[in-house]
Amino acid sequence: MITHIVGNRPQFIKLAPLYHALERAGYEQNIIHSGQHYDENMSDVFFDELGIPAPYVNLQAGGGSHAQMTAKAMVGLERELLEKKPDLVVLYGDTNTTMAGALVTAKLCIPTVHVEAGPRLHCKENPEECNRIVTDHLSDILFCPDELSMKNLQAEGLYAKAYLTGDIMYDTYLEISDKAAGSEPAEEVVVMTWHRQENTSSRKRMESILRLVECLGEKVICPLHPRTRKCLVEYGLWERAKAIDNFEMIEPVGYVEMVTLMQRAKLILTDSGGVSKESSYAGAKCLFMMDVEVWEDLVEIDWIHKVNPESETSLKEALIFAKKAVRIPREERPRFYGDGHAADKMVQALREKNFL
């Protein structure tokens, strides 16, 4: 039995291709949902759209502080894994759910795979960085989305268990992008996502991001993460945000709609690791609202431009970048993250290494 542990929106998107590849190869699988994301549009919609079977259990570990959430997930995971005794566990990405899984499987001595191993922001203040480091060190086999991730793992002495498979999110993107392609040419827009702790935990920071949106002048469509909505309300910025003429905040969308939006984007404004990488699949350049190392290959070719919305100079540079942004045709898009067959490569590596 192979058990997949997931709990957050980007993890459902990463799970789909590997679940299906293992299914095609005839392996028995089940899914544990930590419950970290729980709204219908943050969770169920992805299972429906991506054809993933329902998890057999939901640990209801969402909400609360990092420690509360991680601890709750760990207790539930330990109980389930002791009872079901899987032969292999698969973890995805860099969330509290991922790290909870890594700690529990390591202590129960269950062989563990980490999908999307190796990215590093080189910034320990970032909560996801802590989750990544712990998970990479404790897992038994590491699947990397790009060469840089392989190098990061080499620097940490983890190269022997690392494999370059390419980005599994690209598998999902390719699968869905044909379905999402609209027949009607739609108006081009700026697509925005905004949810990082670093960008939502101070009023000043949130205000500066709203100012950036306003200065862009073009229509900005933002499927708003529930965390960001709550913080805007808490800081008394909700009415201010709604009053920005060119800013359209909508509910979080399913993946088909998200891809449709990205395919209409002339520019993507985001603080999401996943979305900043997907910008290169969708053909829209990216303004990235975090001062950390992210997908450095895309930064180097000026596909991703980092902006600090609190700095006037950085804001001005970002507006120049935004003005020049146009949709990039498919054949001119960079290809740093594999060929869209990461899941098949993972199954092959797991077989070769006798994990299956």
Which residues contribute to the site for ligand UD1 (CB under 6 A)?
8-10, 36-39, 42, 62-63, 94-96, 127-128, 195, 226-227, 230
63 binds, among ligand UD1, ligand UDP, none (CB under 5 to 8 A by kind): ligand UD1
Considering 195, 225, 305, 341, which one is annotated as catalytic?
195
CA-based nearest residue to 298, from 142, 128, 167, 102: 167
Site for ligand UDP in 247-276 (CB under 6 A): 252-253, 255, 258, 272-275
User: Residues 171-210 vs ligand UDP: string with x where CB under 6 A?
Assistant: ----------------------x-x---------------
What tokens appear for 342 in the block? 């990461």
Quick one: DSSP state of residue 255? H
Q: Least distance to ligand UDP from the beta carbon of 251, Å? A: 8
Query: Residue 118, interface with ligand UDP (CB under 6 A)?
Result: no
Q: C-beta of 173: minimal distance to ligand UDP in Å?
A: 8
Q: d(Cα 122, Cα 106) in Å, to the nearest integer?
A: 24
Burial string for 141-160 (b: 16+ CB within 10 Å, else e) reads: bbbbbbebbbebbeeeebee
Q: Which residues, at least 6 apart from 48, have a Cβ–Cβ distance to it below 8 Å? A: 254
Instruction: Give which of ligand UDP, ligand UD1, none residue 149 binds (C-beta under 5 to 8 Å, depending on kind).
Output: none
Taking the complex as a whole, the smallest distance from the CB of residue 199 to ligand UD1 amounts, in Å, to 10
Residue of 2, 13, 138, 307 interacting with ligand UDP (CB under 6 A): 13
Distance from the Cα of residue 293 to its chain's centroid: 15
DSSP for 345-356, written as a single string: HHHHHHHHTT--
Three-state secondary-structure class, residue 286 = strand
SS3 content of the chain, % helix, strand, coil (to 5): 50, 15, 35
> Is 195 an active-site residue?
yes
Q: Can you point out the beta strands (E) in the chain?
A: 2-6, 29-33, 57-58, 88-92, 112-115, 141-144, 162-164, 189-193, 220-223, 247-250, 265-270, 285-288, 304-306
For position 98 contacting ligand UDP by CB under 6 A, the verdict is: no
Rg of the Cα atoms in the chain = 20
Cβ atoms of residues 293 and 304 within 8 Å: no
Q: How far is the CB of 215 from ligand UD1 (least distance, A)?
A: 25
Q: Which does 165 bind (CB under 5 to 8 A by kind): ligand UDP, ligand UD1, none?
A: none
Please answer whether residues 219 and 323 qualify as being in contact, where contact means their C-beta atoms are separated by less than 8 angstroms: no
Between residue 141 and residue 170, which ones bind ligand UDP under the rule CB under 6 A?
169
**How far apart are CB 268 and ligand UD1 at their closest, in Å?**
16
> What SS3 state is found at 163?
strand
96 binds, among ligand UD1, ligand UDP, none (CB under 5 to 8 A by kind): ligand UD1
Cα–Cα distance measured from residue 272 to residue 278, given in angstroms and rounded to the nearest whole number:
10
- How many degrees, rounded to 5, is the angle at CA 264 between CA 310 and CA 176? 110
Least Å from the CB of residue 117 to ligand UDP: 14
Residue nearest to ligand UDP (CB): 274
223 lies in the binding site for ligand UDP (CB under 6 A): yes
Distance CA 117, CA 355 (A): 17
Part of the chain binding ligand UDP (CB under 6 A), chosen from 8-16, 175-183, 210-218, 325-333: 8-16
By C-beta, is 55 or 273 nearer to ligand UDP?
273
Q: What residue 38 binds from ligand UD1, ligand UDP, none (CB within 5 to 8 A, per partner kind)?
A: ligand UD1
Q: Which residues are catalytic?
A: 195
Binding site residues, ligand UDP, CB under 6 A: 9-10, 13, 169, 193, 195, 223, 252-253, 255, 258, 272-275, 278
